[in-house]
Structure 1
Amino acid sequence: MAAAPGGWRAAGGRRRRAGGEAAGAGAVLRRLREARDDLLSSGFWEASAGAVRAPLGSSAEPPAHCVCYGLGRFSVCPAARHQLAFLLLLLEELGEGKHDVEGSATLFYMVHCGKALYNNLLWRNWSAGALAKMVIIGNSFKGIEERLLSRILERDYSYIAKVLKGTEEVALPTHPRYLDTFNDTSIHWFPLQKLKELSPEVWEFMEEPMYQDCDDLEIIRKEDRTDRHSPAATES
């Protein structure tokens, strides 16, 4: 999918093999445009754009890359369609593709992803320099902290726990039409100065999260997939 001055169009690719397939793609694109118009007419995007600009002030480096995790089947799910439409409006707002790619900041769009996915992302980029180049739009870190016992947060999602004091967070505005679509969603960024104020011990521990004792794991680990396909796992 690509943004264009007059709207959105399907990205170029192989020629459609059947008229029905092309018609199906056209229907999805039409629904996506309707979701975009809905966001604009409701005022939700206009209110959200101000929150999005918060980590992108004059002193911040505008993201030139965007990574999207956890988006549902937007062809059949209205909530996922609105989330995708929001992302495309966001890319237009940020002027994607107009910045030098080398060493540029990255936006991670992760609405309603599992806690472990945020934790894994932080672990993979666990340095002040890398985190300072990240913006995460997803479940509120403050909300995660409030809902979990501190011992569970520190044991199972230690990188979220450790980065809290180095995080700036702005919640997306609430809107009655999108209570399920964007509930508990915030923009997170990590100012370098705040990260430098964290204790040196915070950066010394970089062990990969394993979630061995986690009771509410919301992702499928590599070993879980292996177990599911092993002979022992398929025996009746």
Structure 2
Amino acid sequence: MDVDVDGFLKVSYKSRNSKNRTGRITQTKCDIKTNTSLSLSLDKEYFLKKICEAKSEVLSSDLFKSVCTSLKEGLFILNDSAIAEIVCLGLGRIGECVTSRYQFAFILCLKTLFDVTISAYDPIFTKNDIELLGYFNVTVLKENLEGKHKTLGENKVLFFLPHCPKQLTNNLLWVNWSHNLSSCIIIANSFNKIVGNCSRRTLEQSAGYISKILPYVLEYPIINNFKYHDIFNDLAIHVFPKLNVVSQDLWKINSEPKYIEDIEFITKNDSKSPV
């Protein structure tokens, strides 16, 4: 009898309405790619099923309904109605970690809601993670940009950085440091909590742009009423509707951030190929 990393028994999934008892996931249950040449091992089938189950749980949760309401309100304030793309950074190992799996399921729910593409990057992705992401039509980015993903045009891009080091968010703000920020919707650790909980020295060293933009951010805290309280805690939705009142002097403060070494922040030089 085998037990997986989450403490669940590995079993065969039986269908009441079919003689096919292989436990294979069908297109009607979740948005997995079909006609793929890759064959699933039992373990991957198991993890795909767990991701689909997590998506179903998130989709029916009060937390997700609240997030949808906040996102639609934020888009309305930005005079827009849609998100054009989702970029995920720091999802972690979705094949092994329960937290990562539910956070990924959360993004899959948003993908369904807005009918958009997803791209993702995490320097700790394994080949197994990359294959799992591929089954859900997620594009895995090849380069560690350290959060420096610049938006183009006026289309809204949703960036999802769940429990990521503040340097990643800080870099994302820096690379879009202009009225370009109005195209960014950022779901990440609450800016208010970061600024409130960090010393002035830490803010200057690791989160200077978060601190500078805070007066111009509209933050929607994510109400953490999901059944697992450590998966979506401290996260918030951040939009930037007040940039028309920003002094031009603020945009002139635009030097590229440099950080002291931090074991949580994996730089481009530290990144390795998936194993």
Q: How does 1:200-219 map to 2 (within 5 A)?
A: 200-212=248-260, 218-219=264-265
Q: How many Å separate the matches in 2 of 1:201 and 1:49?
A: 35
Deviations 1:57-88 (A, max 9, x none): 27225221111000011112111111111111
**Matching residue's letter, 1:157:** A
Give the direction of change, closer, same or farther, for the CA distance of 1:14–1:34 in structure 2 (3 Å limit): closer
Give the direction of change, closer, same or farther, for the CA distance of 1:88–1:222 in structure 2 (3 Å limit): closer
Residue 94 of structure 1 deviates from its aligned partner by 1.8
Aligned to 1:112: 163
How high is the sequence identity, in percent, across the aligned residues?
33
Whether the 8 Å contact between 1:138 and 1:187 is mirrored in structure 2 is yes
The number of residues matched between the two structures is 212
Task: Kindly report structure 1 stretches of 4+ aligned residues shifted beyond 6 Å.
Answer: none
Aligned to 1:54: 73
Whether the 8 Å contact between 2:166 and 2:206 is mirrored in structure 1 is no
**What is the CA RMSD across the aligned residues, in angstroms?**
2.6
Aligned to 1:80: 100
Q: How many Å separate the matches in 1 of 2:93 and 2:195?
A: 29
Contiguous gaps of at least 5 residues in structure 1: 229-236
Residue 5 of structure 1 deviates from its aligned partner by 8.4
Contiguous gaps of at least 5 residues in structure 2: 1-25, 118-151
**Matching residue's letter, 1:9:** D
> Which of these residues, 231, 239, 244, is aligned with residue 196 of structure 1?
244
Q: Normalised by the size of structure 1, how large is the TM-score? A: 0.79
Give the direction of change, closer, same or farther, for the CA distance of 1:181–1:104 in structure 2 (3 Å limit): same
Residue 9 of structure 1 deviates from its aligned partner by 3.3
Q: Does 1:70 align with 2:116?
A: no
3-state SS of 1:122 partner: helix
Q: Does 1:125 align with 2:144?
A: no
Aligned to 1:220: 266
Q: How does 1:6-25 map to 2 (within 5 A)?
A: 6-12=28-34, 15-16=37-38, 21-25=40-44
Q: Normalised by the size of structure 2, how large is the TM-score? A: 0.69
Q: How many Å separate the matches in 2 of 1:210 and 1:13?
A: 46
Residue 7 of structure 1 deviates from its aligned partner by 3.7
